[in-house]
Amino acid sequence: MYKINTNLFLSFFVADVISTVEFNQTGDLLATGDKGGRVVIFQRETESKGESEELGESGEYNVYSTFQSHEPDFDYLKSLEIEEKINKIRWLPQQNAAHFLLSTNDKTIKLWKVSERDKRPEGYNLKDEEGRIKDISTVTSLRVPVLKPTDLMVEVRPRRIFANGHTYHVNSISVNSDGETYLSADDLRINMWHLDITDRSFNIVDIKPANMEDLTEVITAAEFHPHHCQLFVYSSSKGTLRLCDMRESALCDKHSKIFEEPEDPGNRSFFSEIISSVSDVKFSHSGRYLLTRDYLTVKVWDLNMEKGPVETYQVHEYLRSKLCSLYENDCIFDKFECVWNSTDSVIMTGAYNSFFRMFDRETGRGVTLEAWRENSKPRAVLRTRRVYTGGRRRRGDVGVDSLDFTKKILHMAWHPAENIIAIAATNNLYIFQDRVNAENQ
């Protein structure tokens, strides 16, 4: 049973709408990006860790640092306004006391260094206490500067700016397991970058046709394999997945494997191609499986089985009869994310009405939970919800016609080692913990 561990609310403006959520490799830091170009980093408190472990709970997450990652820009050559919205954040593996993360908007990727400072140097020879340069003629003796304790300060500095690599909007970034390179993907191309080189990248996938009128699909997401640095996968708007091996060819236009599911003729409609578009793809932690999300379902694919998914879970099948109205209000183009838990045994994805869905892969059972501000008191138990589609109606059921399509759970993250999840609901960030599982471990 999931209980609320921390409930963090941000004031509501369009710029405050959260657009990405990401835990670092240890789970002690959680970063969010918003439409205003800001990155907010939350840190897990360690002071109450011993006490909270006795209760089967983890330390709470509090604001650690906030900084402006991107500003609105304008491409004068194309007369195109570039939004400051943060599309993705990815943490780099920690090598020292500092933390590094990549953030991107539609065009520019930035590498940030996050570090702490609790000491400051004093006793300069050529500077006074205010930091001003002294007149050299007044310096009559030399002294050794010393470090003195000071209040803890968190410094966030840009270390690299990777610009001019994409003509179209960047939808994905993924750090390679080699710790030295990463990929970035837009609608038609995937580039590979070295973290130390900002002025050039290597194009590894290019699906742009000679004549744009022949364009039939676009790239929707891309990710490196968690263990094999030469493998990566990308998804398309046609619902296909392509696994590529960089050892085979410098330009990976020809895939090693393609994963696709034959369309059911019985469900063929005007909206079939739209709802089959894959909005997110994630490798399992083991590297054996792929998790994808299209509009109505989440699917699990085995890398050794290309003919179709090994598991399919219905997220909100009850919306199939409402695709026409969802098309008219543009909700049918919403891009939902999906995530694995730390053991690859449970998957999670979002839905409407502030609902999010979890599926147990062993039993195949799904549960619907709600991230709702009104009932989210600290340590309150989340109740399961149910959408009423017919038959016997139970108390608390929500009718399909009563769903609020403006409240959508698009972005989420799962702690890399524990049953802690972060849910972004428009401008609100919810952090939940599975207390029962923590007690049983």
203 within 8 A of 168, measured Cβ to Cβ:
no
Nearest to 243 by CA among 277, 283, 206, 203: 283
Mean pLDDT of 220-230: 96
What per-residue confidence (pLDDT) applies to 377? 66
Q: What is the pLDDT of residues 273-318, one digit of tens each?
A: 999 999 999 999 999 999 999 999 999 999 999 999 999 999 999 9
Q: List Cβ neighbours of 215 (8 Å cut-off, separation of 6 or more).
A: 188, 208, 209
The pLDDT score that the predictor gives to residue 429 is 93
| Integer Cα distance of 211 and 409 in angstroms | 37
Statement: residue 324 has pLDDT above 70: yes
pTM for the whole structure:
0.86
**Strands, DSSP E only, in 294-365?**
297-302, 311-314, 338-340, 346-350, 355-360
Choose between 203 and 122: higher pLDDT. 203
Rounded alpha-carbon distances, angstroms, from residue 354 to 13, 17, 330, 372, 425: 18, 14, 18, 6, 7
Give me the phi and psi of 273, to 5 degrees please: -70, -35
Q: Given pLDDT bands bounded at 50, 70 and 90, which one contains residue 372? A: confident
CB atoms within 10 A of CB 296: 20
Residue 7 pLDDT grade (very low, low, confident, very high; cuts 50, 70, 90): very low
Provide the pLDDT for residue 11.
42
Beta-carbon contacts of 137 under 8 Å, excluding residues fewer than 6 positions away, are: none
* SS3 call for 390: coil
Q: What is the mean pLDDT of residues 259-281?
A: 88
Q: What secondary structure does DSSP assign to 154-173, as a single string?
A: EEEEEEEEE-S--SS---EE
Q: Compare 10 and 132 and report the one with higher pLDDT.
A: 132
Strand 355-360 and strand 366-370: pairing?
Answer: antiparallel
pLDDT in tens, 381-432: 777 888 887 767 777 788 888 899 999 999 999 999 999 999 999 889 999 9
Q: Using one digit for the tens of pLDDT, what is the confidence trace for 22-73?
A: 999 999 999 999 999 999 999 998 754 445 444 445 678 999 999 999 999 8
pLDDT at 3 (0 to 100):
53
Residue 9 scores a pLDDT above 50 = no
pLDDT at 2: 55
Q: Is the pLDDT of residue 206 over 60?
A: yes
pLDDT at 440: 31
pLDDT at 70: 94
Look up residue 214 and give its DSSP letter.
G
pLDDT at 56: 47
Question: 């906030």: which residue's tokens?
Answer: 66
Kindly report the backbone phi and psi dihedral angles of residue 116, in degrees, each rounded to the nearest multiple of 5, phi listed first. -110, 150
Q: First-to-last CA distance in the chain?
A: 14
Average pLDDT over residues 236-264: 91
Condensed to tens digits (0 to 9), the pLDDT of residues 243-254 reads: 999 999 888 888
